[in-house]
Amino acid sequence: MERCKTKVYPDNLPTTSVVIVFHNEAWSTLLRTVHSVINRSPRQMLEEIILVDDASERDFLKRPLENYVKKLKVPVYVIRMEQRSGLIRARLKGAAASKGQVITFLDAHCECTVGWLEPLLARIKADRRTVVCPIIDVISDDTFEYMAGSDMTYGGFNWKLNFRWYPVPQREMDRRKGDRTLPVRTPTMAGGLFSIDRNYFQEIGTYDAGMDIWGGENLEISFRIWQCGGTLEIVTCSHVGHVFRKATPYTFPGGTGQIINKNNRRLAEVWMDEFKNFFYIISPGVTKVDYGDISSRAGLRQKLQCKPFSWYLENVYPDSQIPRHYFSLGEIRNVETNQCLDNMARKENEKVGIFNCHGMGGNQVFSYTANKEIRTDDLCLDVSKLNGPVTMLKCHHLKGNQLWEYDPVKLTLLHVNSNQCLDKATEDDSQVPSIRDCNGNRSQQWLLRNVTLPETL
């Protein structure tokens, strides 16, 4: 942004160590990251670069890498994990070896742009409890083309605990009085690119060392920062490119799903209080995964007197996909046919389905919220025409076509705008529910029940 180019930052900004962890990274992308840090960071602010090799199996990442970085004009250290540990424990090792006042983490396939560092360090200098991310620009993994990322999206997450970008809400634009060069307060970070005061990183409990390989640590540190008194921002005057790759160049020992579910369970158990049920109910099977001992992380939350997750949802992420108040969470069953609403793994703008109830969560989980929307993750049941169809659209929180009135006595789901009732499937398509004039038939009666939670919870 033009107005970023003329901003002036204090001279005496803190120094930073740049920590880059990698496993089987390509030579070109790793060195592109290192050189861009050296070329585009003011020398007096750059303490060192620490490369943490997470037990890579490529020869050029051994002695050849060490010999290469010795010749660079900034201290670059290569330290190695004894065995494959995953990015979380590798970053912990890098952080423990660092000497700068700030630690900046980068993925091993990034390109820092001119002026990337000063705006990040300036925020930390102003408040050491502020954790900052640059805008993450997109480097194509097909062409290596560099494309600017948007300053109009920020970090969130869905019921499956996947990190997602969502539009910056109006309230955050208003808070910044429309000045897009001011940092955006973001509910979550993507995970790979951020700067944090080194002592503050210690104080708030670094990372959960019980997490393996990849995943979950980004939401874990995001929740922890907010719930324990910090601030998380995207600094829109700082840009760093990242190669978004379609496939990983590495394995997930023990299985991708197992690992990610374990990490996510650890974060859900420690930080999400009763709202963890949204994750458990939509991800069948996750509750069978052993997540190890979390007592030290629970102890940390206690020691730091961190706020409850409901506080986070109310104050940091009111536009979250997880409703703060809701009447039901689970299947929605038709009284006459005994079938359940089912999103049929369909996507946005498609019709919601109806199918035999399976009691396994997943596609049959809906929440009837206090705002009277029927939602499954970030999609809401929406009707825009008389007599249907019922589609799934991004929830807009504006009531309108997404407002449903449930009558707990008549058991009807009235679509307020059309004044019609949700009904069983139509004759021409047995797999989609219909919307018709309310007539008191049993086919217009619905049971909004909570799916019974598995015993292991």
Q: What angle do CA 133, 198, 127 make, to 5 degrees?
A: 60
User: Taking contact as CB under 5 A, which single stretch among the options 78-86, 107-115, 156-164, 209-217 is the one that binds Mn ion?
Assistant: 107-115
208 near ligand LR7, judged by CB under 6 A: no
134 near ligand LR7, judged by CB under 6 A: no
Q: Give the contact letters, 28-67, x = binds to ligand LR7 (CB under 6 A), - = no.
A: --------------------------x-------------
Q: How far is CA 348 from CA 94, 289, 351, 369, in A?
A: 41, 30, 9, 19
By a kind-dependent CB cut-off of 5 to 8 A, residue 215 interacts, out of Mn ion, ligand LR7, none, with ligand LR7
User: Taking contact as CB under 6 A, which single stretch among the options 211-219, 303-311, 335-343, 406-414 is the one that binds ligand LR7?
Assistant: 211-219
111 near ligand LR7, judged by CB under 6 A: no
Q: Cβ of residue 111: shortest distance to Mn ion, in angstroms? A: 12
Q: Which residues contact 452 (CB under 8 A, 6 or more apart)?
A: none
Q: Which of 442, 378, 374 is nearest to 410 (CA)?
A: 442
* Residue 91 neighbours by CB distance under 10 Å: 24
333 near ligand LR7, judged by CB under 6 A: no
By a kind-dependent CB cut-off of 5 to 8 A, residue 233 interacts, out of Mn ion, ligand LR7, none, with none
| CA 131/CA 456 separation, integer angstroms | 35
Q: Cβ of residue 175: shortest distance to ligand LR7, in angstroms? A: 24
One-letter identity of residue 221:
I
User: Taking contact as CB under 5 A, which single stretch among the options 102-110, 160-168, 331-339, 394-402 is the one that binds Mn ion?
Assistant: 102-110
Tokens coding 407: 């009558």
Tokens coding 131: 């954790």
Q: List the interface residues with ligand LR7, window 227-266 (CB under 6 A).
A: 242, 248, 250
C-alpha atoms less than 13 angstroms from C-alpha of 354 in its C-beta half-sphere: 27
Angle of helix 295-303 relative to helix 256-271, nearest 10 degrees, comes to 30
Among 49, 120, 136, 184, contact with ligand LR7 (rule: CB under 6 A): 136
One-letter identity of residue 170:
Q
Tell the burial category of 39 from Cβ atoms under 10 Å away from its Cβ (0-12, 13-18, 19+): exposed
Nearer to ligand LR7, 215 or 361 (CB): 215
Of all residues in this chain, which one has the CB nearest to ligand LR7 in the complex?
Answer: 191
Q: Which of 110, 236, 240 is nearest to 168 (CA)?
A: 236
Counting residues that bind Mn ion (by CB under 5 A) gives 1
183 near ligand LR7, judged by CB under 6 A: no
Nearer to ligand LR7, 218 or 434 (CB): 218
Preceding omega of 389 cis (within 30 degrees of 0): yes
Residue 136 has phi, psi (to 5 degrees) of: -95, 110
Q: Which helix (H) or strand (E) holds 19?
A: strand 16-22
By a kind-dependent CB cut-off of 5 to 8 A, residue 239 interacts, out of ligand LR7, Mn ion, none, with none
Nearer to ligand LR7, 107 or 151 (CB): 107
Q: Cβ of residue 338: shortest distance to ligand LR7, in angstroms? A: 41
User: Taking contact as CB under 6 A, which single stretch among the options 17-25, 167-175, 327-335, 405-413 is the one that binds ligand LR7?
Assistant: 17-25
Report yes or no: 78 and 66 within 8 Å, Cβ to Cβ.
Answer: yes
Nearer to ligand LR7, 22 or 271 (CB): 22
Q: How far is CA 224 from CA 90, 219, 292, 338, 442, in A?
A: 20, 8, 19, 42, 48
Among 50, 51, 90, 414, contact with ligand LR7 (rule: CB under 6 A): 90
Q: Cβ of residue 248: shortest distance to Mn ion, in angstroms? A: 9
380 near ligand LR7, judged by CB under 6 A: no
107 near Mn ion, judged by CB under 5 A: yes
User: Taking contact as CB under 5 A, which single stretch among the options 31-39, 103-111, 152-160, 227-235 is the one that binds Mn ion?
Assistant: 103-111
Report yes or no: 7 and 119 within 8 Å, Cβ to Cβ.
Answer: yes
What number of H helices and E strands is found in the chain? 12, 25
| CA 203/CA 224 separation, integer angstroms | 11
Residues contributing to the site for Mn ion (CB under 5 A):
107
Residues contributing to the site for ligand LR7 (CB under 6 A):
21-23, 25, 54, 86-87, 90, 107-108, 136, 190-193, 213-215, 217-218, 242, 248, 250
